[in-house]
A = this chain, B = another copy of it.
Amino acid sequence: MTATLKASRTKAAWVQEWAEVVAQTGDHDVYKLTLRAPEIARRAVAGQFVEVRPVAGRGSAAVDPLLRRPFSICEIRPDEGIITLIYRVVGRGTAVMASVTAGQELNVMGPLGHSFPDPATGRGMLVLVGGGLGIPPMVAAAARARAEAPDRCVTAILGARHVGFLAGAEELAATGVPAAIMTDDGSAGHQGFVTAPLKELLDAAGAGCEVWACGPEGMLMAVKELCRAAGAPCFVSVERHMACGFGACIGCTVPKSGEPGFWKACQDGPVFLAEEVELGG
């Protein structure tokens, strides 16, 4: 079954598009970027990501920040040619992106990498686990599951340090997928970690669950271990520093589990079958 699930992940041919910034909202910490990128919107599948040049404008010859920045696609609206991204300002690149305003253009490559599995392929309860800025891709995942596997039971567990880091939770709620909210400090939902409700679910449904997770690598390790113990198929979306995002630099490696050698997060992932990757390495 896991092999079938793994095979049901989509990998599309990517394009490079000048995307118009339709809107950018947020405060100085977390931003939501709405982009008109019709070709990417047409091809993208939940779990895939885009690579954004932080500097706006076609004319810009500025070479700093130099590299593109990878972001998971949060919402996909092919009819309108729209995708959205939610990101947190953590360094120089995202700081520059945050200064971009509606009407400007950003150069975007995508959709890149493998999506989450086809929600119609799996069986049993689908559990989406998103931690912090791991929530955005779960929005697309929830929307796809609702649309393409309407009869399947889908539930989300979203966690963050603090209520301020739950960006994407509203968008996820809007898909109709129910979500348990966990915060470290109890500032929203329940106090605690995503692993608590996940463990409850797995204790109850065990191998009857399929789990997709995105978040800090420590959380992914914990989720992977819980799923292994419960015999539930588990997919994790993994982040790595990337120079290219499309397989050319071999910079984004994730050690293979149980054998020597590496996967490329950008091409073989970012969504991996958890048992095939060595996390934290």
Contacts and interface: CB of A to CB of B under 8 A. Distances in A.
Report whether over half of chain A's contact residues are helix, strand or loop; otherwise say mixed: loop
A96 interface: yes
A95 interface: yes
Nearest to A61: B92
Interface in A216-243: none
A143 B3 CA distance: 79
Contact of A64 (B57, B63, B98): B63
B60 A95 contact: yes
A98 B56 CA distance: 12
Contacts of A57: 99
A65 to B, nearest CB: 6
Contacts of A28: 59
Interface in A80-139: 92, 95-96, 98-99
Nearest to A28: B59
Given A62-B62, A62-B92, 15 more contacts: A28-B59, A56-B99, A59-B95, A59-B96, A59-B98, A59-B99, A60-B95, A60-B96, A60-B99, A61-B92, A62-B64, A62-B65, A62-B96, A63-B64, A64-B64
